[in-house]
Amino acid sequence: MLVALPRHSGLDAPLDYLSDGPLPEGSLVRVPLGRRIVTGIVWPAEGGQTAAPPDPACAVAPAELRPIAERLDALPALDARWCALVRFAAAYYQRSVGELALTVLPGDLRELDAAQLQRRLKRLAKGLAQDATRSAPQAVVPGAPAVPPVPSLSEDQQTVLAALAAGGPGSWLLHGVTGSGKTEVYLRAAERCLAEGRQALVLVPEINLTPQLEARFAQRFPGRRLVSLHSGLTPAQRLQHWLAAHLGQADLLLGTRMAVFASLPRLGLIVVDEEHDPSYKQQEGARYSARDLAVWRGRQAGVPVLLGSATPSLESWHNATPAPEGTGRYRRLAMPRRIGAGGLPTVRLIDLQQVEARHGRRALQALPLAPELLEALRARVARGEQSFVLLNRRGYAPVLHCSNCGWKSGCPHCSAWRVFHKVDRSLRCHHCGFAERVPRACPDCGDPDIQPLGRGTERLEEQLAAQLPGARIARIDADTTRAKGSLERQLAAVHAGEVDVLVGTQMVAKGHDFRRMTLVAAVNADSALFSSDFRAPERLFALLLQAAGRAGRDAAQAGCSEMWVQTWHPSHPLYAALAAHDYEAFAASQLAERRAASLPPFACLALLRAEARSQDAALAFLHAAAQEAQDLGAASLGVQVYPPVPAALQRVANVERAQMLLESAQRPALQRLLAAWLPRLQACNQGEARVLRWAVDVDPQAI
């Protein structure tokens, strides 16, 4: 029996209980654990073998075993493939199997007893009956809106779908430029899957992309049951949708990374949209990659996995490249042309050094955009076209500053600045959430002249409103979309043509089909060029290319669509690849650099993170852990253990953070070391090396 206990508890293996009869593997039960009654899973033995009855010579005699408290027989057992997925994920990401298995189930399900579960299932059955009544064929009403016709396929789409139909199971990387019609490929692939009586799982990276894609699928499959799984649902909704999928009553499941663990007994297709997005990597608890688990799950279930992106991750691109340059594990599909044969946006680079030479530094700091870019925006507004201005920094300004004494609005609890939000006159830390009213004068010297430094989306919106009088300007970022339904309303206004200039962050730079948009401008693109994170160039290129793809989606306007990029480094190779829309050249150069530096995908990484009240304690714990790794023969296994260092953001919420990197050219060698190493780490957490928390992150996305 598996219960939710962490690995370091020493009770991470299945526990024995007494039962008055046989229990199907994968079934849920309620069992006593200490003084609590918790939910457990009857867990299959390794290799699918039936577990042997307790040995009379075991440490706990059968007569001393505690009986299960309750069987949840109303719910069908979780199948062997789901259990195998959890077992693999727990082993690979170094978590307790019981902890992971129970955590990925809906929270409400873990709290229900048999009677409560029965009531929930009856309520679900009643809802399904009502849905069936509503979806029954109705008489055609004259004047009623007709169901939109299914669009005809482009030549590229036909080629891709034919390859999918002929190729069968396996992992496919769909590399299609923005606007090439990848969503229609997903819909057609799902249609074939549903026609075979199977279920389709569609993963999206962020919640804000779910409603749009959900509407497309619901419109295409009006007689099918569609459910979603993401953190925006209430606990009751999440349980209802999970049950519909588990019982086989849902044909389509759309969700974010958590949906990769959904129980789908008739699984026939997995789609991972925007597969490059780092949001697929969980950053707390079990730090799993939903994209990678989707690939494993598809291979285990013998179903096709379709990874789609205009800017694939370098790992996926490497896996889709034939040997010897790549691994050849995935098959690559290409859609290099937009629907309607529209061209990709022309990329124009604005050299800020030249702008500064012409207009002076003060003028450049005062203007939100270069003068020529402002003129391009005015021209678009005059023609009734839409523009998107990308600034990946919310708030009014990143920091407030006193020019008299040099004071800055630092966070007292974090090694970060507090961001100035003008709308509520607050200074807010985006890491710990600490907020205060803006002081009337400098807290250090009393000078009332404290000024904002830098620019966020709130300030950019204000400045554009002053520079473009009469233009309808809207802002979409995490601050303007907090209220339920606000994102949908704002996106609907953009689609309806009620917005001339949209200011936004990366949350609107991908996945949205803005038909009236002809210009995209990137304001502060250089910020990630020289980051210490080796993945920063890849992410910047993906963000800019995805943002450029919002322009010219309508083939009739594609010829005049543009992307303007303000930069101090116009000769940087990244911008040259962007101007040519040449992902392949960019990927080749980045992979060559990573091969030379022994970085992923040519090496495997794991990161041990530690959090403590002092930096000395965090580093002491990591030094002790490093010694344990060396004692276990890390060097002989070919695993490099790097010295511990403070984290990039060293202090968050008065907690000091440090980390230590492990690197190996061979994944099995790293996994062997981690499996032997982790049980010893809890013993390192004592005395002067005591930390508040520690965690191992396999295949980290941020270093």
SS3 percent helix, strand, coil of the chain, rounded to 5, is 40, 20, 40
**Of the candidates 325, 291, 367, 250, the residue with the CA atom closest to the CA atom of residue 592:** 325
Residues 170 and 305 sit within 8 Å (Cβ to Cβ): yes
Per-domain boundaries in the chain? 7-116, 155-340, 342-394+456-595, 397-454, 604-698
CATH placement of domain 604-698: 3.30.70.260
Residues 202 and 253 sit within 8 Å (Cβ to Cβ): yes
524-554: pLDDT as tens digits: 888 888 888 899 999 999 999 999 999 988 8
Percentage of the residues of the chain whose pLDDT score is greater than 70: 94
pLDDT band at 15 (very low <50, low <70, confident <90, very high): confident
* 58 or 202: which leads in pLDDT: 202
Q: Count of alpha carbons within 13 Å of 523, Cβ hemisphere only?
A: 29
- Cβ neighbors of 261 (< 8 A, separation 6 or more) are 82, 85, 86, 89, 104, 293
Q: How far is CA 271 from the centre of its chain?
A: 14
Q: Tell me if residue 695 falls in helix, strand or coil.
A: strand
Edge-to-edge order in the sheet of strand 419-421 = 419-421, 426-428, 435-437
Residues 100 and 90 sit within 8 Å (Cβ to Cβ): yes
- Give mean pLDDT, residues 425-433: 95
| Pick among 3.90.1200.10, 3.20.20.60, 2.40.50.140, 3.40.50.300: CATH of 342-394+456-595 | 3.40.50.300
Percentage of the residues of the chain whose pLDDT score is greater than 90: 77
- Give mean pLDDT, residues 141-149: 56
Q: Is the pLDDT of residue 263 over 90?
A: yes
- Give mean pLDDT, residues 62-80: 89
pLDDT at 258: 95
Q: Is the pLDDT of residue 122 over 70?
A: yes
Distance in angstroms (rounded) separating the CA atoms of residues 388 and 513? 12
CATH placement of domain 155-340: 3.40.50.300
- Give mean pLDDT, residues 416-442: 95
Q: Tell me if residue 354 falls in helix, strand or coil.
A: helix
CA distances from 671 to 158, 245, 329, 353, 595 (A): 42, 33, 21, 49, 21
- Quote the tokens at residue 163: 């390859």
Fold of the domain spanning 7-116? GIY-YIG endonuclease (3.40.1440)
Say if 155-340 and 604-698 have the same CATH topology: no
pLDDT band at 213 (very low <50, low <70, confident <90, very high): confident
Q: Look up residue 555 and give its DSSP letter.
A: T
Q: Is the pLDDT of residue 700 over 70?
A: yes
Name 400's bridge partners: 452
pLDDT at 148: 73
632-655: pLDDT as tens digits: 999 999 999 999 999 999 999 999
Considering the chain, what is the average pLDDT of its residues? Answer: 91
Residues 75 and 120 sit within 8 Å (Cβ to Cβ): no
Q: Dihedrals φ, ψ of 313, to 5°?
A: -60, 150
Q: In 568-664, which ranges are continuous DSSP H helix?
A: 573-579, 583-597, 615-631, 634-637
pLDDT at 63: 62
pLDDT at 147: 63
pLDDT band at 48 (very low <50, low <70, confident <90, very high): very low
270-325: pLDDT as tens digits: 999 999 999 999 998 889 999 999 999 999 999 999 999 999 999 999 999 999 99
- Give mean pLDDT, residues 355-378: 87
Distance in angstroms (rounded) separating the CA atoms of residues 251 and 273? 18
Residues 615 and 650 sit within 8 Å (Cβ to Cβ): yes
Interior angle at CA 558, CA 557 and CA 562, nearest 5: 105
Listed ranges 137-146, 213-222, 249-258, 676-685; the one with the highest mean pLDDT: 249-258
508-526: pLDDT as tens digits: 888 788 989 999 999 988 8
pLDDT at 667: 96
Residue 454: count of CB within 10 angstroms of its CB: 17
CA distances from 10 to 96, 176, 487, 624 (A): 10, 48, 45, 21
pLDDT at 224: 93
Distance in angstroms (rounded) separating the CA atoms of residues 340 and 556? 8
- b/e for 469-506, b at 16 or more Cβ within 10 A? eebebbbbbebbbeeeeebeebbeebbeeebbbbbbbb
- Quote the tokens at residue 667: 């994944």
pLDDT at 60: 54
pLDDT at 8: 67
- Give mean pLDDT, residues 609-636: 96
Residues 85 and 101 sit within 8 Å (Cβ to Cβ): no
N-term to C-term CA, the chain? 37
